[in-house]
């Protein structure tokens, strides 16, 4: 049926004419300069010399995830209000095929420094940093790989260790759960820390582990339905607290916890505050904070102070780059136990494994 | 032929109306999102203000079009004989990782190295498409369902392979998983010299304009020749237009299903090569996904003809390029997807309408001619 109906190609020539006009116009921007292409340069010439222009490229999902990307944006916004920086943030297409191009466009528009949010940017940041050696770049969750790239890393396993300690102290069933979004090495750090923390309190504790998608398939961060099914199974099997490191999919974990009248632990930002659904707030016992906002803001501040890239900055418990949220006061009664564990990590008495 | 010309003209008018309507409807959506449609339109044509940004913009545009074109071709080969190969996605992902791994295990002179990688990719894609083909001819399993299910198998298999058996040395502190780096001889030469001809600076973006563009054009010509100028192509089309009639005239339907599926899969296997050999040099966990599904839209828009698919791929790539420019103009970038969807939908509708209209015109013309030459007597 389709073969019969799509047999004429004259249509193609129309598209062709349109496209030719399109490229001609694009090329015209070089010589004559269309109004659209003129606008940004005019704006930048008005800005005072040496003004701070910070560009930020989100990972797939972009703003509005109430978690990782939004935390990065909070840091950017703080740079805008406190440091007077001009800011611009871009999101990639859903297949992430244009991550590198976004960085180039920010670089071409004279943004410096440029922050790439998410380890998926590692390769692209490296390439673009080499193409623009005079600019400074930062990449969140990945190590520095060029002289003008700063790696902004977080000790997720340390924060997750505290989450494990809190959960093990609170559980009555001696049974916990962990839902990971994507089985990448990054999320496995969360699992490793959580399990180690729980076992440090109760060596015989049972922890169910479930990853929503395998490495390379990032849909696990955007699948609340899968998160719900995974958490439901854990609650039915007897777990009473489930920790998630699954981005948007965490919503499903909270829904399952609410339905089972059990508890859940949030991730990245203080989810008891950021989550829109008020009925789900009480199930979030605590959240493992990953202060991406602090990382981004501190990086911009350091850049303003003249810092150059080529090194990694790790935000760990010592500098409160990770930690637990206390909104709701549900973990106040075990605060001394958590603080003791934190102190042991900071003092180096406990080394938290980064791999399960 | 005046009748043919009439029809072509009608199709052109239909397509123009469809595209104008698509832009109009998208403008409503843009306005609803609180942005200006004019700013959006400007952003699509804004390639930046410096020669460097223009060169990079054109490179991005062309580099996006190449894999879309190959994906469209892969889907179209199946569509031509009413085989809905929805499995292009899985076929190309699996082909990409196997080709990337095999290519990294040896070093040979560039032509041999590249040829081996291309053959491996096509073979893996073709073989993976053979599974649903065999299921269809032996057990009558619907290829739509089989290929969709096999997509999941392929995607999960690929992500297992990139972490496990095919994983390479990853950079210090990086979390992306990747296959071993391809040797230098596997990298396809780029086409940046074209910019020199016009006295423009070469694009600086990774890999510049991918040389695989040439291979894609050759592939397009080959597919056209096979479909339009060979007996095999005729049999594919005949089976698609009327299966029973084709079978009655001696075309073996089972053989055709297997041949068309495998050919479709083999072309699908090449989708990832522009990116792999032009830029990335390895299959990583951030490799571009979803091209197989986009290929379906591109093939529909291009009416399953190589020339049409080329223009459809260029149009999609042109819209996709504006991702950054739109956001600079404070227009939500999802506008791109809305316009793309609208164009495909309306072009299909316009196509149907013009087809019926052309048919009626043709009937009237034939009736008039018949009436002039020899009045038809209606038997009671």
Long-range contacts of A32-39 (CB under 8 A, 24+ apart): A33/B49, A34/B42, A34/B45, A34/B46, A35/B42, A36/B42, A36/B43, A36/B45, A36/B46, A36/B329, A37/B46, A37/B47, A37/B48, A37/B49, A38/B49
Which tens digits make up the pLDDT trace of B15-28?
A: 788 888 988 998 99
In percent, the amount of chain A with pLDDT more than 70 equals 85
Interface test with B, best of A18, A44, A86, A101 (most B CBs within 10 A): A101
pLDDT value at residue B368: 86
Which tens digits make up the pLDDT trace of A63-119?
A: 777 777 888 999 999 999 999 999 999 988 878 788 888 999 999 889 999 999 988
Q: What is the DSSP string of B41-94?
A: HHHHH---SSHHHHHHHHHHHHHHHHHHHHHHHHHHHHHTTT---TTHHHHHHH
pLDDT value at residue B379: 52
pLDDT value at residue A40: 37
Q: Which residues of B touch A32 (CB under 8 A)?
A: none
Q: What is the mean pLDDT of chain A?
A: 83
pLDDT value at residue A16: 38
- Whole-angstrom distance, CA of residue B103 vs CA of residue B94: 14
Ranges A183-197, A266-280, B110-124, B303-317: which has the least confidence: A266-280
The domain limits of chain A are: 49-154+291-322, 156-290+326-347
Sign of CA dihedral B361, B362, B367, B369: positive
In percent, the amount of chain B with pLDDT more than 70 equals 96
Q: Which residues of A touch B304 (CB under 8 A)?
A: 2-3, 6-7
Task: Give me the residue from A12, A89, A216 closest to B311, CB to CB.
Answer: A12
* Min Cα separation A141/chain B (Å): 8
pLDDT value at residue A33: 32
Written out in words, the top-level CATH class of the domain with range A156-290+326-347 is alpha beta
* Min Cα separation A276/chain B (Å): 21
The domain limits of chain B are: 1-46+322-372, 67-308
Task: Give me the residue from B81, B175, B351 closest to A184, CB to CB.
Answer: B175
Whether B288 and A97 lie within 8 Å, measured CB to CB: yes
Residue A54 has pLDDT above 90, yes or no: yes
pLDDT value at residue B374: 58
Q: What count of Cα atoms within 13 Å lies in the side-chain half-sphere of residue B235? A: 17
As a CATH number, domain A49-154+291-322 is 3.40.50.2300
pLDDT value at residue B377: 56
Q: Which residues of B touch A214 (CB under 8 A)?
A: 156, 159-160, 163
Ranges A17-26, B82-91, B111-120: which has the least confidence: A17-26
Whether A11 and B162 lie within 8 Å, measured CB to CB: no
| Beta carbons within 10 angstroms of residue A1's beta carbon | 9
* Min Cα separation A236/chain B (Å): 27
pLDDT value at residue B95: 96
pTM above 0.95, yes or no: no
List the beta bridge partners of residue A154.
A315
For A178, the 3-state DSSP assignment is strand
Q: Which residues of B touch A18 (CB under 8 A)?
A: 19, 315
* Min Cα separation A234/chain B (Å): 23
pLDDT value at residue B1: 46
pLDDT value at residue A204: 94
State the ipTM, two decimals: 0.84
pLDDT value at residue A41: 37
Which residue on chain B is closest to A312 by alpha carbon? Answer: B173
Whether B53 and A153 lie within 8 Å, measured CB to CB: no
Residue A5 has pLDDT above 50, yes or no: no
pLDDT value at residue B373: 64
- Whole-angstrom distance, CA of residue B339 vs CA of residue A26: 19
pLDDT value at residue A27: 34
Whether A8 and B8 lie within 8 Å, measured CB to CB: yes
* pLDDT, mean of residues A325-348: 91
Task: Give me the residue from B42, B205, B284 closest to A101, CB to CB.
Answer: B205
Which tens digits make up the pLDDT trace of B259-287?
A: 999 999 999 999 999 999 988 889 987 88
Residue A189 has pLDDT above 70, yes or no: yes
- Whole-angstrom distance, CA of residue A160 vs CA of residue A338: 12
Whether B328 and A36 lie within 8 Å, measured CB to CB: no
Whether B307 and A9 lie within 8 Å, measured CB to CB: yes
Residue B331 has pLDDT above 80, yes or no: yes
Whether B80 and A3 lie within 8 Å, measured CB to CB: yes
Task: Give me the residue from A33, A99, A119 closest to B49, CB to CB.
Answer: A33
Interface test with A, best of B49, B169, B202 (most A CBs within 10 A): B49
Interface test with B, best of A19, A31, A33, A36 (most B CBs within 10 A): A36
Which tens digits make up the pLDDT trace of A133-142?
A: 999 999 998 8
Which tens digits make up the pLDDT trace of A11-40?
A: 333 333 334 343 333 333 333 333 333 333
* Min Cα separation A131/chain B (Å): 7
Which residue on chain A is closest to B62 by alpha carbon? Answer: A23
Residue B50 has pLDDT above 50, yes or no: yes
Interface test with B, best of A86, A97, A310 (most B CBs within 10 A): A97
Residue A280 has pLDDT above 80, yes or no: yes
- Whole-angstrom distance, CA of residue B261 vs CA of residue B264: 5
Q: How many residues does chain A have?
A: 356
Which residue on chain B is closest to A152 by alpha carbon? Answer: B173
Q: Which residues of B touch A16 (CB under 8 A)?
A: 311, 314
Whether B280 and A105 lie within 8 Å, measured CB to CB: no
Whether A30 and B54 lie within 8 Å, measured CB to CB: yes
A172, exposed or middle or buried, with CB in 10 Å at 0-12, 13-18, 19+? exposed
The answer to whether B50 and B57 have CB atoms below 8 angstroms apart is no
The answer to whether A186 and A353 have CB atoms below 8 angstroms apart is no
Q: Which residues of B touch A129 (CB under 8 A)?
A: none
Confirm whether A49-154+291-322 and A156-290+326-347 share one CATH topology: yes
Q: Which residues of A touch B308 (CB under 8 A)?
A: 6, 9, 11-12
Q: Which residues of A touch B53 (CB under 8 A)?
A: 105, 108
Residue that has been written with the tokens 């102290």 in this structure: A169
Cβ–Cβ pairs < 8 A, chains A and B: 241
Whether A143 and B312 lie within 8 Å, measured CB to CB: no
Whether B175 and A141 lie within 8 Å, measured CB to CB: yes
Which residue on chain A is closest to B155 by alpha carbon? Answer: A217
Interface test with A, best of B17, B45, B209 (most A CBs within 10 A): B45
Q: What is the mean pLDDT of chain B?
A: 88
Whether B176 and A25 lie within 8 Å, measured CB to CB: no
Q: Which residues of B touch A313 (CB under 8 A)?
A: none
* Min Cα separation A153/chain B (Å): 9
Residue B58 has pLDDT above 80, yes or no: yes
In b/e form, how buried is each residue of A260-293, taking b as 16+ CB within 10 angstroms? bebbbbbbbbbbbebbeeeebbebbbbbbbbbbb
Whether A143 and B172 lie within 8 Å, measured CB to CB: yes
Q: Which residues of B touch A151 (CB under 8 A)?
A: 173
pLDDT value at residue A61: 67
pLDDT value at residue B271: 96
Sheet architecture: strand order including A175-183: A206-214, A175-183, A241-245, A263-268, A284-290, A322-324
Whether B171 and A145 lie within 8 Å, measured CB to CB: yes
Closest CA relative to residue B299, chosen from B76, B45, B8 = B76
For A4, the 3-state DSSP assignment is helix
């Amino acid at each position: 049926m389709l073969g019969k109906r799509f047999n004429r190609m004259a249509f193609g020539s129309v598209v062709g004419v349109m496209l030719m006009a399109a490229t001609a116009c694009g090329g015209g921007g070089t010589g004559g300069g269309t109004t659209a292409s003129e606008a940004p340069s005019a704006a930048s010439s008005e800005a005072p010399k040496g003004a701070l222009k910070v560009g930020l490229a989100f990972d797939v999902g972009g703003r509005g995830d109430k978690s990782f990307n939004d935390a990065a944006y909070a840091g950017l916004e703080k740079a805008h209000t406190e440091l007077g920086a001009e800011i611009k943030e871009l999101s990639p297409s859903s297949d992430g095929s244009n991550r590198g191009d976004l960085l180039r466009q920010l670089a071409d528009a004279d943004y410096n420094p440029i922050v790439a949010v998410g380890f998926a940017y590692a390769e692209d940041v490296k390439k673009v940093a080499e193409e623009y050696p005079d600019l400074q770049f930062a990449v969140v969750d990945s190590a520095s790989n060029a002289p003008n790239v700063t790696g902004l890393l977080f000790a997720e396993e340390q924060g997750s260790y505290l989450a494990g300690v809190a959960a093990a102290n609170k559980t009555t069933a001696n049974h916990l759960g962990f839902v990971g979004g994507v089985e990448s090495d990054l999320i496995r750090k969360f699992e490793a820390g959580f399990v180690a923390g729980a076992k440090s309190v109760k060596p015989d504790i049972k922890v169910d582990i479930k990853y929503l998608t395998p490495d390379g398939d990032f849909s696990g961060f955007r699948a609340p339905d899968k998160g719900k099914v995974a958490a439901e199974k854990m609650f039915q099997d007897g777990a009473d607290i489930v920790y998630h490191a699954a981005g948007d999919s965490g919503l499903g974990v909270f829904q399952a916890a609410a339905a089972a009248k059990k508890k859940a632990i949030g991730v990245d930002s203080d989810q008891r505050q950021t989550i829109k659904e008020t009925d789900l707030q009480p199930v979030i016992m605590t959240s493992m904070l990953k202060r991406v906002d602090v990382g981004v803001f501190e990086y911009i501040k350091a850049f303003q102070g003249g810092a150059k890239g080529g090194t990694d900055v790790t935000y760990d418990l010592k500098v409160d780059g990770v930690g637990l949220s206390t909104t709701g006061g549900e973990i106040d009664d075990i605060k001394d136990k958590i603080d003791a564990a934190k102190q042991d990590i900071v003092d180096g008495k406990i080394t938290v494994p980064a791999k399960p | 032929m005046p009748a043919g010309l009439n029809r072509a003209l009608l199709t052109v008018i239909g397509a123009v109306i469809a595209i104008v309507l698509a832009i109009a409807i998208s403008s409503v959506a843009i306005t609803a999102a609180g942005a200006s449609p004019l700013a959006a339109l400007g952003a699509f044509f804004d390639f930046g203000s410096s020669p460097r940004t223009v060169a990079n913009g054109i490179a991005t545009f062309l580099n996006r079009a190449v894999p879309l074109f190959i994906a469209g071709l892969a889907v179209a080969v199946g569509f031509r004989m009413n085989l809905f190969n929805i499995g292009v996605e899985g076929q190309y992902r699996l082909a990409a990782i196997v080709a990337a791994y095999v290519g990294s295990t040896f070093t040979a002179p560039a032509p041999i190295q590249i040829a081996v990688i291309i053959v491996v990719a096509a073979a893996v894609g073709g073989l993976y498409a053979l599974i649903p083909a065999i299921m269809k001819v032996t057990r009558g399993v619907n290829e739509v369902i089989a290929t969709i299910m096999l997509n999941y198998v392929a995607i999960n298999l690929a992500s297992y392979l990139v972490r496990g058996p095919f994983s390479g040395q990853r950079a210090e502190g990086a979390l992306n998983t990747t296959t071993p780096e391809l040797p230098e001889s596997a990298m396809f030469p780029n086409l940046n010299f074209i910019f020199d001809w016009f006295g423009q600076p070469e694009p600086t973006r990774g890999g510049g304009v991918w040389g695989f563009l040439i291979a894609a054009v050759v592939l397009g010509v080959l597919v056209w020749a096979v479909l339009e100028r060979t007996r095999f192509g005729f049999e594919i089309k005949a089976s698609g237009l009327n299966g029973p009639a084709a079978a009655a005239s001696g075309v073996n339907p089972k053989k055709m299903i297997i041949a068309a599926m495998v050919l479709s899969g083999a072309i699908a296997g090449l989708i990832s090569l522009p990116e792999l050999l032009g830029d990335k040099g390895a299959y990583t966990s951030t490799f571009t996904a979803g091209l197989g599904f986009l290929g379906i839209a591109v093939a529909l828009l291009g009416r399953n003809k190589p020339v049409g698919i080329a223009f459809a791929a260029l149009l999609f790539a042109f819209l996709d390029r504006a991702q950054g420019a739109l956001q600079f103009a404070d227009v939500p970038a999802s506008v791109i997807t809305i316009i793309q969807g609208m164009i495909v939908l309306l072009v299909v509708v316009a196509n149907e309408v013009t087809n019926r209209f052309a048919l009626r015109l043709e009937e009237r013309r034939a009736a008039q001619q018949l009436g002039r030459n020899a009045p038809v007597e209606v038997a009671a």
